[in-house]
Amino acid sequence: MALDERAICHEAGHAVAALHLGVHVERIEVTDRLPHSTISRDSLEKKSTEQRCIVLAGGIAGEKFFYGDYDKEASQGDQNRISEMGGDDIRKYLVEALKIVSLHEVCLRELKKQLISGWVRGESEASWESDCDSFELLSHEEIQCIWKGSCRERRV
């Protein structure tokens, strides 16, 4: 299974936006060959609709930060979730999400680096098992360590 670096940047963006808004990120994993973030529904439901939409737009903000654009077709799932919540076009939330990922650039870059490393490690380990399409990239504890480290560096 080939490493999808754009998808890694997308998930790093979701995670940074969520963490910035105080949403609990449980883990980032690969399932069915695609990375995705698992976010606590309880902590997300305590946020406003706009904040939830910003978390969803964080994925395309991560892509835009690294590539200057985003995969419109791949972002359709996030747009669908935004629409289900009664939100607007995902681009409405992109400006704020991009501010957030830019503010936490150190964290975003470290998440990307660690997610790529986790993908390579997970793919290698999974190749010895029958289910090589699913594995954890980063645990909640690892994500928190990266988040807290980047926040300390930014304040110095």
- C-alpha–C-alpha distance, residues 104 and 117, integer Å: 20
Chain centroid offset of residue 39 CA: 10
Closest of 31, 100, 106 to residue 59, by C-alpha: 100
38, β-bridge pairs: 27
Q: Which CATH class is domain 5-155?
A: mainly alpha
Task: Please list the residues that pair with 28 across neighbouring strands.
Answer: 37, 138
In this structure, of 47-61, 95-109, 137-151, the range with the lowest mean pLDDT score is 137-151
Region 139-144: mean pLDDT is 95
- For the chain, the structural domain boundaries read 5-155
Which single residue is written with the structure tokens 């939100």? 87
Q: What is the mean pLDDT of the chain?
A: 90
- Residue 119 predicted with pLDDT over 60: yes
pLDDT in tens, 125-134: 766 665 567 8
Residue 74 has pLDDT above 60, yes or no: yes
Q: Give the C-alpha separation, 44 to 132, whole Å.
A: 30
Q: For the whole model, what pTM was predicted?
A: 0.90
